[in-house]
Homo-oligomer: A and B are copies of this chain.
Amino acid sequence: MKNIRVSDILLSEAEVESLVVKGWVRTKRESKEFVFLEINDGSCLKNLQAIVAADASGFELMDRVGTGAAVSLKGALVESPGQGQKWELKVRELELLGEADATYPLQKKRHTDEYLRTIAHLRPRTNKYGALNRIRAELSFGVHQFFREQGFFHVHAPIITGSDCEGAGEMFQITTLDLANVPKKNGKADFEQDFFGKEASLTVSGQLAAENLACALGRVYTFGPTFRAENSNTPKHAAEFWMIEPEMAFADLEDNMDLGEDCIKWLITHLLDNCRDDLELFGNFVDKGLFATLDNILAKPFIRLPYAEAVTILKNAPRTFEFPVDFGTDLQTEHERYLTEDHFKQPVIVFDYPKEIKAFYMRLNDDGKTVGAMDVLVPRIGELIGGSAREERLSVLERRIEELGLPKEEYWWYLDLRRFGSVPHAGFGMGFERLLMLVTGIANIRDVIPFPRTPRHLEF
Contacts and interface: CB of A to CB of B under 8 A. Distances in A.
Contact of A176 (B68, B172, B240): B172
20 contacts: A1-B255, A5-B219, A25-B421, A43-B219, A97-B424, A104-B421, A119-B413, A130-B216, A130-B217, A133-B213, A134-B153, A134-B217, A159-B202, A159-B225, A162-B458, A176-B229, A179-B189, A196-B239, A196-B457, A197-B456
Interface string A111-147: 0000000011110110001100110110011001000
A79 interface: no
B182 A151 contact: no
Contacts of A212: 121-122, 124, 450, 460
Contacts of A121: 212, 413-414, 416-417
The 7 closest A-B CB pairs, nearest first, are: A98-B422, A124-B216, A42-B217, A179-B189, A137-B153, A196-B458, A42-B218
Interface in A210-269: 212-213, 215-220, 224-225, 227, 229, 231, 239-240, 242, 249-251, 255
A170 interface: yes
Nearest to A126: B216
A215 to B, nearest CB: 8
Interface in A351-380: none
Interface string A385-418: 0000000100000000000000000000110111
Interface in A4-22: 5, 7-8, 22
Given A25-B421, A134-B153, A141-B148, 11 more contacts: A5-B218, A24-B421, A43-B217, A120-B413, A133-B153, A141-B144, A157-B450, A160-B239, A173-B176, A196-B458, A198-B458
Contacts of A197: 456, 458
Contact of A423 (B2, B70, B173, B209): B70
> Quick one: copies of this chain in the complex?
2
Query: Of A212, A239, A240, which is in contact with the most chain B CB atoms at under 10 Å from its CB?
Result: A212
Query: Of A176, A184, A424, which is in contact with the most chain B CB atoms at under 10 Å from its CB?
Result: A176
Instruction: Report the interface size class on chain A.
Output: 35 or more
A90 to B, nearest CB: 21
Contacts of A422: 70, 97-99
A155 B453 contact: no
Query: Of A8, A174, A198, which is in contact with the most chain B CB atoms at under 10 Å from its CB?
Result: A174
B209 A420 contact: no
B174 A174 contact: yes
Nearest to A43: B218
Contacts of A449: 156
Query: Of A70, A176, A202, A458, which is in contact with the most chain B CB atoms at under 10 Å from its CB?
Result: A458
A327 interface: no
A422 B64 CA distance: 13
A69 interface: yes
A195 B217 contact: no
Contact of A250 (B3, B177, B215): B3
A100 B458 contact: no
Interface in A429-460: 449-451, 453, 455-460
A297 interface: no
Given A133-B213, A158-B240, A453-B158, A421 B22 contact: no
B216 A42 contact: yes
Contacts of A130: 216-217
A129 B155 CA distance: 12
A109 interface: no
Interface string A173-188: 1111101101010011
Contact of A450 (B140, B141, B155, B414): B155
Contacts of A176: 170, 172-173, 229
Given A153-B137, A182-B179, A218-B5, A423 B97 contact: yes
A200 interface: yes
A92 interface: no
B421 A98 contact: yes
